[in-house]
Amino acid sequence: MSTVTRSAAPGLGARLRGSRLLWPVLALVALIAANAVANPSFLSLRMQDGALYGSLVDILKNGAPTLLIALGMTLVIATRGIDLSVGAVVAIAAAVACTSIAGADDPGSLGAALTGMGLALALCLVLGLWNGFLVSILGIQPIIATLVLMTAGRGIAMLVTDGQIITVNNDPFREVGAGFLLLPVSIIIAVAALVVVALVTRRTALGLLIESVGINPEASRLAGLRARTIIWTVYVFAALCAGVAGLMISSNVSAADANNAGLWIEMDAILAVVIGGSSLAGGRYSLAGTLIGALIIQTLTTTVYSMGIAPEVTLVFKALVVIAVCLLQAPKVREALGRRRSGARASGSPTGTGATGDSVSADTTDPTDTTQPDAVAPGTQTTTPTDADSTAGDADAKQKVAQS
Amino acid sequence: MSTSTSTPSPAPASALTPHGAPSARAGHPASSRLARSRRVLPVIATFVLFVLLFGVGSLRYEGFTSGQVVANLFIDNAFLIVLAVGMTFVILTGGIDLSVGAVVALSTMVAAACLRAGLPAPVVILLVLLVGSTLGTVMGLIIQRFELQPFIVTLAGMFLARGLCFVIGVESISIKDPFFRSLATGTIELGGGVVITWSVVIALVVVAVAAWVLHRTRFGRTIYAIGGSESSATLMGLPVARVKVAAYAISGLCASVAGLLFSLYMLSGYGLHGVGMELDAIASVVIGGTLLSGGVGWVVGSVLGVLVLGVIQTLISFEGTLSSWWTKIAIGSLLLVFIVMQRLFMRRGA
C-alpha cells in the first residue's frame, strides 16, 4: 500500500510522510475538524471595519504571545537549554510598560506608549543578558539558572506595580495586542518574527551553528565556534520575545497584573516546542513545528472552552499530550519500534524502503545522525525541514504505532 | 573512587564522593577530610545565615527572640519541611520534581472532597497518601523506563495534578471534619509558654525517618551513589532502577503528607493552593547545601533551608510592610548566591 507512493519519485505524499511535521499537522487538522463538526460557525469568517473576525482569527490572536515565546524557546532548547523565566519576564515587561505609560505626563499619547514599550524591552534585554551570563559564563544548568529569575521575577514585577493591577488608557499601546490590520496586529508581529528568525537561521549557517552547540558545546568550541556567544545570544533573544509577548498580553487587556500575566506560559511554550518535534536534548529544532505546536495548544484551549468544560481542566489534556509526545520522542520507545520494524522488513517487504535503509540507526537518537541532512546543505533548508533519512525513519516508526 | 574520573568532562559530582561511604576513601585521609569539609561548608553557611538573620531580627524588633517565634517558624512551615525532605531524595539522585506543589493542592482537594462526602478521616488520610505515592511512582517509572528527562515528566505531572484538582471542583471546599479540626487546633505545651501544633510533630518525625533512611541504610547509600554517577552505581550492581523510582515515589508520598499538613493549616481544599510551592521546596534544598547535580547533601540542610526562608518571611512580617514580593526577591537572590557558591566549590573540587 504505502510502498507504492514511496518508491515513486518524492511526490507530495512521500514528502509529507517523510516530514516530522506530519503528525502535528494531522492533529491540528483533526482538532479544527472536530470543532467545525461540533460548531458549524467555527470556520466562518466575516469582514467588519476592514478586519477579519471569527473563531479562527481569535485562535490566532490569543495564540500570538505563546507563539512568540515558543519561538525564543525553540532556539534556547536547540542549544540544549531551557528558559523557565519567560513567564516572569512577561509579567515584568507588562508591569514596566503599564507603569511607565500610566505615570507619563500625557498617558494617552504615542510618545508615552513608545517610551513605555522601549523601557520594557530594554529591561528584558538586561534580563536576557543576565540569564545568558549565568548559563554561558558561570556554566550553571539552564533549568536552575533560569529558576532564579522565575522565582524572583514576579516579585520584581510586583515591586514595579506596587502590588496593584495597573490599568492604562492608551490607544497606540492598545494596538499591539488588540489592534487589527486586516489580521490581528499581534499575530502579524509574531509571524514576522518567525519569518525573520527562519530566514536568519536557515538561510545562513547560524541555525547549523546553534544545533552544533546543542549537540556538543565543548566540541563546537574546539572547532572554532564562539559557543558562549551563541548561547548568550539565544537567551537574550528568548527574553526579548517574552518581553514583546508581555506587551501584547498587557495591551490586549490594557492592564498589567503582576500575579497572573504570563502565568504558566513557559509551560505552554515548552509544550509547543516539544509538540513541534524539536528535541529537548538539543541539537535539532523546527520553527514550522513550533508554529504548528503553538496553534495546536491554542486550538486545544479554545476547544475546551467552547465545550463548556472549566478552563482549568485544560491542564489535564495538556498533561496527557505532553506525556504522549515525549514518549513518542523517547529514545527507548524509538529503539523498540525500530527493532520491530526491521524485524518486519526482514520477514518480507523489501520494496520501497530505500530511503530508510539504515532504519535502526536512524531511530536511535544519535544527534549527529539526525542533523546530518542539515550539515550537508544548510542553505537549502527552509522552515520545513523535510530531510529524508532520519525523519523518514521517524514517520515510519509512527506508522507502526498507528498500525499496531 | 574519589580520584578517578572516568568521564571526560569535568564531572563535579565524582570528585565529591557520596556521603556515607567513608571506607572507599580510606587511602586518602587528607584529601577526604578536605573533601568532607568542603561538603559540610554549605550547610554551615546556611546555619550561619540563619543565625545572622535571626540576630538581625532580635536586634531590630522587640519580642523577636522569644521561643514562640522559633516555634512559629516550624508551625508555619511544617508542610514545606516535609516537601523539602521529599525533594532532597529526588535531587540527590540528580533529578528534580516540579509536581510537588500541584500534588499538595491535589491532596488538600481530595481530602476536603472526601471528608465532605462523609468518608471517615483515617480512610481519607490513607487515600490521600495513596494518590500522592501512586502519582510519584508513575512519574518515576516513566522517567526510569523511557529515560525521559525528570523535568519534563514532572512538569506533565504538575499539569495533571492541578487539572485533576479542578476536575474535582473549581471552588474552595472547607474542611469541617471534627478529627481534622481538633488536629489542626490542638497544641502541645513545650514549657515556658511555647506551644507547637501536631503538624510540627509529624514534620519532625518525617525528618527523622528520612535522615535515618538516607544516612544509615543501604537504600540511602544507593541514592547517593546514583547521584554521584549513575553508570558507576549500575556497574557496582546496585538496584539503580528500583531506587530511582522509589525516590520519586517518596517525593510523591512526602508531597501528599505535606498536602495533609497544608489542609490542616488552611482547613480547606482548593485547586490554587500551593502555587509555586515547588520552587520554595527546591530553593530550600539548594540553600540547604544539596548539590543540584546530585550525590551530595543532607536532610538537615534542607530543614535549615526552610528555616532560612521562614526567618525571611518573619522578618518581613515584623517589618510590617506586608509586601510579600520582597520574600520572592529575597528567595531568588539567596538561591542565586548558593548556586554560584556550589559552582565555585564544584570547580575547585574538580
For B292-322, give one letter per residue: b (16+ CB within 10 A) or e: bbbbbbbbbbbbbbbbbbbbbbbbbeeeeee
**Contact assignment for B159 to A315 by CB distance below 8 Å:** yes
**Contact assignment for B332 to A148 by CB distance below 8 Å:** yes
Under the banding of pLDDT at 50, 70 and 90, the label for residue A357 is very low
Under the banding of pLDDT at 50, 70 and 90, the label for residue B1 is very low
DSSP letter assigned to residue A51: E
* Residue B153 contacts A where some CB pair is shorter than 8 Å: yes
- List phi, psi (to 5°) of B269: -115, 135
pLDDT in tens, A258-299: 888 888 888 889 889 988 888 887 888 999 999 999 999 898
B-chain residues within 8 Å CB-CB of A310?
166, 170
Under the banding of pLDDT at 50, 70 and 90, the label for residue A376 is very low
pTM: 0.78
pLDDT in tens, B166-198: 889 888 999 999 999 999 888 888 888 889 999
Least confident piece of the model among A175-179, A398-402, B232-236:
A398-402
The class level of CATH for A20-338 reads mainly alpha
Nearest CA in chain B to A318: B159
Q: Which three cell numbers stand for residue A128?
A: 536576557
Which pLDDT belongs to residue A15?
56
Task: Evaluate if residue A352 carries a pLDDT over 80.
Answer: no
Least confident piece of the model among A128-142, A362-376, B109-123, B224-238:
A362-376
Percent of chain B with pLDDT over 90: 53
The mean of the pLDDT values for chain B is 85
Inter-helix orientation angle B240-266/B198-216, to 10°: 170
DSSP letter assigned to residue B268: E
Could you report how far apart the first and last alpha carbons of chain B are, in Å? 13
Under the banding of pLDDT at 50, 70 and 90, the label for residue A395 is very low
CA distances from A172 to A101, A168, A175 (A): 11, 11, 5
Residue B195's beta-bridge partner residues? B189
Best to test chain A binding among B329, B334, B346 (most A CBs inside 10 Å): B329
B-chain residues within 8 Å CB-CB of A88?
none
**Contact assignment for A312 to B328 by CB distance below 8 Å:** no
Inter-helix orientation angle B121-146/B240-266, to 10°: 140
**Contact assignment for B162 to A312 by CB distance below 8 Å:** yes
Q: Is the ipTM of this complex over 0.90?
A: no
pLDDT in tens, A81-103: 999 999 999 999 999 999 999 99
Which pLDDT belongs to residue A402?
41
Q: How far is A173 from chain B (nearest CA, A)?
A: 27
A-chain residues within 8 Å CB-CB of B9?
218
Which pLDDT belongs to residue B192?
80
With beta carbons less than 8 A apart as the criterion, state whether B333 and A152 touch.
yes
Residue A170's beta-bridge partner residues? none
pLDDT in tens, B245-255: 999 999 999 99
Domain range B40-54+64-349, CATH architecture: Orthogonal Bundle (1.10)
Which pLDDT belongs to residue A399?
41
Task: Evaluate if residue B335 carries a pLDDT over 60.
Answer: yes
Distance CA(B177)–CA(B192), nearest Å, equals 31
* Residue A219 contacts B where some CB pair is shorter than 8 Å: no
Query: Domain residues of chain B, as ranges?
Result: 40-54+64-349
Residue partners of A379: CB distance under 8 A and separation at least 6? A203
**Contact assignment for A315 to B335 by CB distance below 8 Å:** no
Distance CA(B285)–CA(B297), nearest Å, equals 9
Which pLDDT belongs to residue B347?
60
